[in-house]
Amino acid sequence: MPESSEYDKSGVSSQGAETALSGLLKHVLPTRKFSEHYPLAADIGYFANVIDLGNGEGIAFGTDGVGTKIIVAELLGRYDTIGIDCVAMNVNDVICVGARPVSMVDYIACSHTDPEVFSQLGQGLAEGAWQSGISISGGEISQIKEIISGIDLIGACIGHVPLNRVNTGKNIQPGNLIVGLASSGVHSNGLTLARRVLLGDSLEEQKSRVNDYEEFLGQTLGEALLEPTRIYVKPVLEMLDEEIDLKAMVHITSGGFCNLNRVESDNIRFVIDTLQPVPEIFNLIQDRGGVSEAEMFEVFNMGTGFCVIVEGTKEVEAITEICKSHDLPCQVIGHIEACQGKEVSLPQKQLTGKGSSFKPA
């Protein structure tokens, strides 16, 4: 049996998730045929799907939550930014299909209804909505103390996209360039591993260390882990409005750069040969946890939170100007090569990613 990863040891099984998903999809995929009047315009498995409303119009639809980042908020007793993460994880997925996010609903499962906590959750949701230009059109609070201890925060987002502009990365060609848009830090993936490595195995340990000041980071461990997920909606929509030919838009979440493999184009290799500056939080996680390079790039974004794939330097120049106007660091991080199948290559790290996992090249 292969040695388990650090993520497995922290209680999250990537292999288990894939097996569970397979069992789910065998029942879910046939439902595509149930809604004859409103067919899906894309395959299940991309960052969001699009419902064909007829007359050339589509609604993009996606859902996501903040995962165990909510535990960091609970440890700090600070909930005013976690709503930003919830909005970000949803709207960043919806723009991947070329859609303009429109509105979102939230679902809060809880064991308590502390009004101050819920007020702070609302603050974050409102701030995320403002950054994205969307409304929060409704939601649900579910008190399920028998099931959950604390709070879980999940959202679902819709967006508008003309059907002739739905983008799932079908037209990527060798020679295209990969532009990376910088992350703000850990975002909302891999927090189970990050907490165990930096704060300890038990919640008691984590509570005692979450306010420890870390000179290496210039802030406390809790502050670094709670840094809100960057929202890419406004710069990416500006790129689309200026009709820059974006071959694909990819949200770098759990799975890291392997998210690039979710595009529909085949027989391509994403060569990431110029990594963006890696935030110090990732170096600290790797050093203290003894986490392998392969696992770091599988679990975390490693400094790149979003990628756009374009034809060449003309598009790169236009993207760079837009990102500069939004104070968003970006750079060309790689290019596309022809290959059999589909994979991501990190030559500097001697890693190859197929599907959702990296292995030594």
pLDDT tens series, the chain, 361 aa:
345 566 666 656 566 667 788 888 899 889 988 999 999 998 888 999 999 999 999 999 999 999 999 999 999 999 999 999 999 999 999 999 999 999 999 999 999 999 999 999 999 999 999 999 999 999 999 999 999 999 999 999 999 999 999 999 999 999 999 999 999 999 999 999 999 999 999 999 999 999 999 998 999 999 999 999 999 999 999 999 999 999 999 999 999 999 999 999 999 999 999 999 999 999 999 999 999 999 999 999 999 999 999 999 999 999 999 999 999 999 999 999 999 999 999 999 999 999 989 999 8
Domain that holds residue 238: 177-360
Contact 179, 274 (CB under 8 A): no
- Evaluate whether 130 touches 72 at the Cβ level (below 8 Å): no
229/4 Cα distance (integer angstroms): 28
Q: What is the pTM of this model?
A: 0.94
The answer to whether position 11 is within a domain reads: no
Q: In what order do the strands lie in the sheet with 246-251?
A: 246-251, 304-310, 177-182, 330-338, 268-272, 342-346, 351-354, 357-360
Q: Do 152 and 36 fall within a single domain?
A: yes
Do both 141 and 193 map to the same domain?
A: no
Q: Please indicate, yes or no, whether residues 124 and 187 belong to a single structural domain of this protein.
A: no
Same domain, 148 and 186: no
Whether residues 339 and 261 share a domain: the answer is: yes
